[in-house]
């Protein structure tokens, strides 16, 4: 066999393997952008050449572009939503409504062609709908050439100029961006407040800007020697420098520019480069220097537990407005406590796993990026600060429980923009999404979970996984059925509450009667401490069609009980321990379940007569 034939066979096998994944397909983009930036009036001229490949089985006769900057205008959907939602975000409130003409943002498309032919398009708010000159057939590519001009708004969540920390430019959601068409159809959502979805591909972005600025962003600078460190005393203020960035296998491109950026750098043992850009200020300099080793550790832990960061470089950039994730970089506030700085860096960097690489549709499944990120963040922070919490996810559990008890909870399946309150969105996306994973690790067992979460990363990297894709990975890894959990936790607001109903003496035995009070059934663990020592009872649900193995550390004290058919409100555990020698019985001793009422979870407790009659 020739080498060439071998190679072809190999490619054939590889593409078969990926198409065997449900016949999965996704679109591809190749952007080349030339940006001429005018820092005097905060505007820029853009030339965008975009090669779009239709890998779908469908013929497309139109496409959409997001024009995010148009949101920063009085009367935009984002403005109105920010003012009329029940609990306005004070960081936005009426700020958009008060913008002056020279402070608003906009994109104006001056010219757009498809393979040289003019196309017609209409703009509605933050979306341009383009009728193609020629239909785009399956597995064909087409080239869009666009000329546009844009004005950078005053920074308001999360893009813009002159933010409160003094960063000159945070350019995020800053260019006309093709909307994604995927297995689930078109996603041309207007920009209302949050969350994104984009097409994977290559970005080559040349930005010509006053030489006094240092730039940082997605991708890798292709001409580092030419741009040097930006400003030098001998550079005339009027002179411009062109920064050439290139990024591959990403679905967005963001950048920032400041005349006073200080640049720190470090390289991980596996070669990944970490870059830090912050404003030059004695307090910030100190805290960001301390941040470097924490960021190194964070990448090492993530690589080890959740999948290896696949890009050559990552940049932590002071963008001056909270924290927000972008491929290969993050924009975060630079000031505040050191603990806060580490926490936000950890959170936003982890988004490169859950958002950047595993690019679930954030609008439809905001919890698949925020919840998964929060879950890993809690584990990483627990390790960085050596907290050794019994359950590092406890805070997220409490936050979820408080929302569930508030009466304002909405199903986790609610689209990010469609929540009635910002609070319900935040609690669901971050906390309920995090608890989803924590409970799942309790259901399938820690070792299985750890292997499967890594498999999920490797199997779905650079793709758009959905909850179903994740469920299949977990089901195969655990050999369990998990619909009952995924469907209820994601699609409903059913809650969990178990209680120890009675504990009674029966000769030399003790009978524990457990009650399912909540509407959502879960497998249970029970810890019994007696004069004989400690033992655990594990009660799988019948509907799981499986059971997790005994955890290694406690396998000799572990007893698997009969399955619990979930419809039964009560379940009996028979202990071969005399009642008199029992010291304590606890439900869910590892705190893996978001049980709404913990008062009935232990015996003895005030709610149960002791000793029973
Ligand atoms: Zn986040």
Residues paired with residue 215 on neighbouring β-strands, in sequence order: 257
Neighbour-count burial for 363-381, b at 16+ CB within 10 Å, e otherwise: bbbbbbbbbbbbbbbbbbb
Residues 347, 209 share a domain: yes
Distance 67 CA to ligand 1 centre (A): 22
CA distance 65 to 86: 30
User: Structural domain of residue 473, as residue ranges?
Assistant: 382-491
Q: What are the pLDDT digits (tens) for 249-258?
A: 999 999 999 9
Confidence of residue 605 (pLDDT cuts 50, 70, 90): confident
- 366 C-alpha to ligand 1 centroid (Å): 9
How many Å is the maximal CA-CA distance in the chain?
A: 94
- 348 in a structural domain: yes
Rounded-to-5 percentages of helix, strand, coil across the chain: 30, 30, 40
Give yes or no for residue 17 having a pLDDT over 70: no
Cα 524 to averaged position of ligand 1 atoms, centre (Å): 31
Taking only the tens place, the pLDDT of each residue in 339-375 is 999 999 999 999 999 999 999 999 999 999 999 999 9
- The residue ranking higher by pLDDT, 398 or 9, is 398
What pLDDT is stored for residue 522 in this prediction?
98
Band (pLDDT 50/70/90 cuts) for residue 542 is very high
Residue 13 has pLDDT above 80, yes or no: no
Helix axes 394-406, 366-384, angle to 10 degrees: 140
If asked whether residues 393 and 419 sit together in one domain, one would say: yes
- Looking at the structure, tell me whether residues 207 and 164 fall in a common domain: no
Neighbours of 20 (CB within 10 A): 9
**Residue 234: pLDDT band with limits 50, 70, 90:** low
Residues with CB in 5 Å of ion ligand 1: 370
**Residues 559 and 471 both lie in one domain:** no
Per DSSP, the three-state class of 330 is strand
* pLDDT greater than 50 at residue 573: yes
Residue 63 pLDDT level (bands cut at 50, 70, 90): very high
Q: Please indicate, yes or no, whether residues 223 and 340 belong to a single structural domain of this protein.
A: yes
CA of 199 to the centre of ligand 1 (A): 20
- Interatomic CA distance for residues 30 and 200, integer angstroms: 9
- 350 belongs to a structural domain: yes
The answer on pLDDT for 233 being more than 70 is no
Q: Are residues 178 and 83 in the same domain?
A: yes
In degrees, rounded to 5, the angle at the alpha carbon of residue 48 between the alpha carbons of residues 44 and 54 is: 145
Return the structure tokens found at 565: 């058919």
In a domain, 279, yes or no: yes
Please provide the average confidence, as pLDDT, over all residues in the chain. 93
Ligand 1 centroid to 323 CA: how many Å? Answer: 8
Within a domain: residue 422?
yes
Q: Is residue 327 part of a domain?
A: yes
Of 168, 199, 230, which residue is a domain's last?
A: 199
Q: How far is ligand 1, taken at its centre, from the CA of residue 131, in Å? A: 35
Ligand 1 centroid to Cα of residue 5, in Å, is 46
Place of tokens 């195969």: 476
Number of domains into which the chain is organized:
4
Q: Which two tokens stand for residue 176?
A: 């006309």
Q: Given a cut of 60, is residue 557 above it in pLDDT?
A: yes
Tell me, in angstroms, the distance from the centre of ligand 1 to residue 437's CA: 16
Q: What is the CATH number of the domain that holds 256?
A: 3.30.2010.30
Domain boundary among 360, 391, 410: 360
82-89 mean pLDDT: 95
pLDDT at residue 238, as a whole number: 62
Question: Cα(269) to centroid of ligand 1, in Å?
Answer: 27
Alpha-helical (H) ranges within 21-96 are 77-84
Q: What CATH number should be reported for the domain holding residue 545?
A: 2.60.40
Inside any domain, residue 172:
yes
CA of 302 to the centre of ligand 1 (A): 16
Are 97 and 83 in contact by the 8 Å Cβ rule? The answer is: yes
Q: Are residues 60 and 123 in the same domain?
A: yes
Helices of type H across 212-365: 224-227, 282-305, 338-350
pLDDT of res. 193: 82
Given 428, 461, 491, the domain boundary residue is 491
Region 486-502: mean pLDDT is 97
- Kindly give the interhelix angle for 446-460 and 467-478, rounded to the nearest 10 degrees: 130
Considering Cα of 467, then 469, then 471, then 473, what sign does the dihedral take?
Answer: negative
Residues with Cβ < 8 Å from 4, sequence gap 6 or more?
Answer: none
Q: How confident is the model at residue 157 (pLDDT cuts 50, 70, 90)?
A: confident
Label residue 71 exposed, middle or buried (CB < 10 Å: 0-12, 13-18, 19+).
buried
Question: What tokens appear for 585 in the block?
Answer: 């019985």
Measured in angstroms, how far is the CA atom of residue 158 from the centroid of ligand 1? 13
Residues 6+ away with beta carbon under 8 Å from 15: none
Residue count (the chain): 613
Residues in Cβ contact with 422 at an 8 Å cutoff, skipping those fewer than 6 apart: 85, 87, 88, 89
| Of 368, 518, 354, 481, the residue nearest 432 (C-alpha) | 368
Asked whether residue 42 falls in the same domain as residue 164, the answer is: yes
User: Both 526 and 487 in a single domain?
Assistant: no
Can you give the pLDDT at residue 134?
98
Indicate whether 192 and 44 sit together in one domain: yes
397 within domain boundaries: yes
HSE, side-chain direction, 13 A CA sphere, residue 208: 11
Is there a contact between 371 and 433 (Cβ–Cβ < 8 Å)?
A: yes
Cα dihedral 330, 331, 334, 336 sign: negative
Report yes or no: 46 and 148 within 8 Å, Cβ to Cβ.
yes
Sign of the CA dihedral running 307, 310, 314, 316: negative
Q: Is residue 610 part of a domain?
A: no
Q: What is the Å distance from ligand 1's center to 349 Cα?
A: 9
DSSP-derived secondary structure for 257-302: EETTEEEEEEE-TTS-EEEEEEE--HHHHHHHHHHHHHHHHHHHHH
List Cα–Cα distances, 118 to 112, 176, 208, 219, 419, in angstroms: 6, 17, 27, 31, 40
Phi, psi (deg, nearest 5) at residue 111: -155, 140
The answer on 70 and 48 residing in a single domain is yes
Q: State how far the Cα of 354 lies from the Cα of 158, in Å rounded to an integer.
A: 19
pLDDT greater than 60 at residue 509:
yes
Calculate mean pLDDT across residues 404-411: 96
Question: Which of these ranges, 130-134, 188-192, 436-440, 602-606, has the smallest mean pLDDT?
Answer: 602-606
CA 316–ligand 1 middle distance (angstroms): 15
Query: What pTM was computed for the model?
Result: 0.94
In this prediction, residue 546 has a pLDDT band, given cuts at 50, 70 and 90, of very high
- 3 state DSSP class of 67: coil
Q: For residue 399, is pLDDT > 90?
A: yes
| Model pLDDT, residue 320 | 76
Distance from Cα 508 to the centre of ligand 1, integer Å: 54
Query: Greater confidence, 236 or 476?
Result: 476
Give the integer Cα–Cα distance in Å for 209 and 213.
Answer: 7
How far, in whole angstroms, is CA 584 from its chain's centroid? 40
On whether both 227 and 244 belong to a single domain, the answer is: yes
Q: Which of the two residues, 4 and 394, has the higher pLDDT score? A: 394
pLDDT tens digits, one per residue of 450-475: 999 999 999 999 999 999 999 999 99
pLDDT of 259-306, one tens digit each? Answer: 999 999 999 999 999 999 999 999 999 999 999 999 999 999 999 999
**What is the percentage of the chain residues whose pLDDT exceeds 90?**
89
Distance between CA 109 and CA 129 in Å, rounded?
12
pLDDT at 420 over 50: yes
């Amino acid at each position: 066999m020739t080498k060439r034939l071998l190679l072809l066979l190999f490619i054939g096998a590889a593409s078969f393997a990926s198409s065997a994944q449900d016949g999965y397909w996704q679109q591809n983009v190749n952007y080349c952008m030339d940006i001429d930036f005018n820092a005097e009036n905060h505007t820029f001229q853009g030339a965008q050449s975009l090669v779009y490949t239709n890998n779908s089985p469908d013929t497309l006769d139109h496409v959409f572009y997001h024009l995010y900057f148009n949101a920063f205008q009085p009367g935009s959907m984002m403005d109105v939503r920010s003012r009329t939602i029940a609990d306005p975000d004070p960081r936005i409130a009426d700020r958009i409504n008060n913008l002056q003409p020279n402070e608003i943002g906009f994109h104006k498309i001056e010219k757009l062609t498809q393979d040289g032919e003019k196309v017609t398009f209409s703009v509605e708010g933050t979306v341009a709908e383009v009728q193609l000159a020629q239909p785009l057939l399956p597995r064909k590519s087409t080239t869009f050439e666009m000329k546009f001009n844009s004005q950078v708004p005053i920074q308001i969540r999360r893009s813009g100029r002159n933010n409160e920390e003094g960063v000159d430019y945070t350019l995020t959601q800053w260019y006309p961006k093709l909307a994604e068409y995927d297995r689930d159809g078109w996603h041309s959502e207007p920009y209302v407040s949050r969350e994104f979805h984009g097409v994977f591909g290559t970005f080559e972005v040349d930005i010509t800007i006053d030489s006094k600025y240092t730039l940082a962003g997605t991708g890798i600078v292709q001409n580092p020697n030419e741009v040097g460190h930006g400003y030098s005393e001998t550079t005339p203020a009027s002179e411009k420098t062109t920064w050439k960035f290139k990024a591959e296998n990403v679905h967005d491109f963001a950048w920032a520019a400041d005349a006073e950026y200080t640049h720190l750098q470090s390289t991980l043992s596996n070669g990944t480069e970490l870059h830090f850009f912050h404003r030059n200020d004695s307090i910030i300099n100190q805290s960001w220097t301390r941040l470097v080793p924490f960021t190194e550790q964070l990448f090492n832990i993530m690589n080890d537990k959740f999948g290896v960061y696949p890009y050559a470089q990552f940049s932590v950039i002071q963008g001056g407005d909270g924290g927000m994730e972008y491929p290969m970089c993050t924009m975060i506030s630079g000031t505040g406590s050191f603990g806060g700085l580490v926490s936000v860096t950890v959170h936003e960097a982890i988004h490169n796993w859950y958002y950047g690489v595993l690019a679930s549709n954030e609008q439809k499944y905001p919890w698949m990026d925020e919840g998964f990120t929060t879950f890993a963040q809690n584990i990483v922070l627990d390790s960085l600060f050596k907290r050794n919490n019994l359950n590092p996810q406890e805070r997220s559990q409490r936050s979820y429980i408080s929302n569930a008890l508030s009466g304002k909870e909405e199903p986790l399946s609610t689209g990010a923009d469609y929540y009635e309150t910002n609070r319900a969105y935040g609690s669901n996306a971050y906390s309920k999404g995090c608890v989803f994973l924590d409970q799942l690790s309790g259901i399938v067992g820690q070792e299985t979970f750890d292997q499967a979460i890594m498999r999920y990363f490797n199997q779905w990297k650079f793709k758009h996984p959905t909850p179903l894709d994740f469920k299949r990975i977990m089901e195969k890894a655990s050999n369990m059925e998990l619909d009952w959990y995924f469907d209820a936790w994601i699609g409903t607001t059913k809650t969990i509450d178990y209680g120890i109903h009675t504990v009674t003496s029966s000769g030399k035995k003790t009978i524990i009667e457990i009650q399912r009070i909540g509407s959502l059934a879960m497998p249970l663990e029970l810890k019994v401490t007696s004069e004989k020592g400690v033992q655990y009872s594990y009660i799988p649900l019948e509907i799981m069609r499986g059971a997790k193995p005994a955890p290694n550390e406690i396998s000799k004290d572990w007893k698997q009980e009969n399955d619990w058919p979930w419809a039964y409100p009560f379940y009996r555990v028979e202990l071969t321990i005399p009642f008199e020698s029992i010291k304590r019985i606890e439900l869910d001793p590892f705190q893996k379940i978001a049980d709404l009422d913990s008062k009935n979870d232990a015996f003895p407790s005030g709610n149960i007569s002791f000793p029973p009659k």
